Amino acid sequence: MRNTARLLIACPDQRGIVAAVAGFVAEHGGNLLDADQHTDKEHGEFFMRAAIEREGFGLDRNTFAAAWEPMARRFHMQWSIFWGQPLKRMAVLVSRQSHCLIDLLWRWKSNELDVELPLILGNHPDCADVARDARVPFEYCPVRPGDKARQEQQVLGLLADAKADFLVLARYMQILTPDFVRTMPNRIINIHHSFLPAFAGGSPYKAAYERGVKMIGATSHYVTDDLDAGPIIAQDTVPTSHRDTIDDMVRKGRDLERLVLARAVHLHVADKILVSNNKTVVFD
């Protein structure tokens, strides 16, 4: 991904967009390594992701916008382009549970996640040792009664100092305020079990066990003002049976949470997600 430019486009659907984009890339000496598109017939919207080989391409981050602007105006495009380098900077927010954090750290250490990881923050100190073992700075930001606004300002200040591009909630058990969410639109990724809202509360696996569910799942989504109702990035499920205990369900659920969150983060880092009407178009 470091050697490609990823162009994301959203615009009203009409004929000729794909040909025009391909022609523009060729005109400037570029090579299209990958191109994918989707048309939302209900809303009349067109979405496209184009991966362009940077070597030999006659445009760069300083010259692309001016050259592209006539095309954007012609098709009324909303667009963005990512140049592969510098790498995106990912920060992580955690509480007490460490399974998602440990998985992300392993994938980062093994170069599965091509990001910089400048900072881990926790509203409890439980994951400090995990961060230290990975040699990533950890900041303890407790939430005290009546002091949530101050804590969020502290977190935002640390994120700004770390130059974080996006934020991952790795089982962070606090609700972010609208003021916080507005600072990073479509750049905060959350993970939760898919029992919500049927099995909300502090013991969802116990409630699911007592209900005798035959399937459990996990959902990763962008955070919005609506609790756990942001645009969904990735989901998965696993079957359960009457033989599963509550501990079995917790284990299966945590496995899914790790996998689904990692999948969502990878898609975000690879610039494969477009958001429209509180839904995502995911070019996976």
User: Is there a cis peptide before residue 142, judged by omega within 30 degrees of 0?
Assistant: no
Q: Which two tokens stand for residue 29?
A: 């000496």
Nearest to 121 by CA among 153, 163, 93, 149: 93
Q: In this prediction, what percent of the chain has a pLDDT beyond 70?
A: 99
Residue type at 270?
Answer: A
Sheet of 45-53: strands edge to edge? 31-40, 45-53, 4-12, 78-82
Distance (Å, whole) CA 108 – CA 113: 5
Residues 151-155: contacts with CB under 8 Å, at least 24 apart: 151/123, 152/176, 152/177, 152/179, 152/180, 155/93, 155/121, 155/180
pLDDT score, position 203: 84
Q: How far is CA 221 from the centre of its chain?
A: 7
Q: Which residue has the tokens 């930001």?
A: 141
Which residues, 6 or more positions from 95, have their beta carbon under 8 angstroms from its beta carbon? 122, 123, 124, 126, 171, 172, 173, 174
40 versus 198: the higher-pLDDT residue is 40
- Mean pLDDT, rounded, for 250-265: 96
What average pLDDT does range 105-130 have in this prediction? 97
- pTM score, two decimals? 0.94
245: left (phi over 0), alpha (psi -120 to 50) or beta: beta
Q: How do residues 125-167 score in pLDDT, each as one tens digit?
A: 999 999 999 999 999 999 999 899 999 999 999 999 999 999 9
Structural domains of the chain sorted by starting position, each given as residue range(s) with its CATH number in brackets:
4-82 (3.30.70.260), 94-165 (3.40.50.170), 185-284 (3.40.50.170)
| pLDDT bucket at 201, cuts 50 / 70 / 90 | confident
d(CA 26, CA 247): 56
CA–CA distance, 278 with 275 (Å, rounded to integer): 7
CA–centroid distance for 233 within its chain: 7
Cβ neighbors of 61 (< 8 A, separation 6 or more) are 81, 83
pLDDT of residue 197: 66
Q: What is the DSSP letter of 88?
A: P
Catalytic residues: 228
> What angle, rounded to 10 degrees, do the helices at 204-211 and 246-269 form?
120
- Report the alpha-carbon angle 237-204-208, nearest 5: 65
Sort residue 249 into left (φ over 0), alpha (ψ -120 to 50) or beta: alpha
Cα–Cα–Cα angle for 266, 267, 273, nearest 5°?
160
Largest separation between any pair of C-alpha atoms in the chain: 63
Is residue 85 scored above 70 in pLDDT? yes
Residues forming a β-bridge with 232: 221
Report the range of poorest mean pLDDT among 34-48, 55-69, 192-206, 238-252. 192-206
N-terminal to C-terminal alpha carbon distance within the chain = 14
For residues 114 and 87, is the Cβ–Cβ distance under 8 A?
yes
- The residue type found at 87 is L
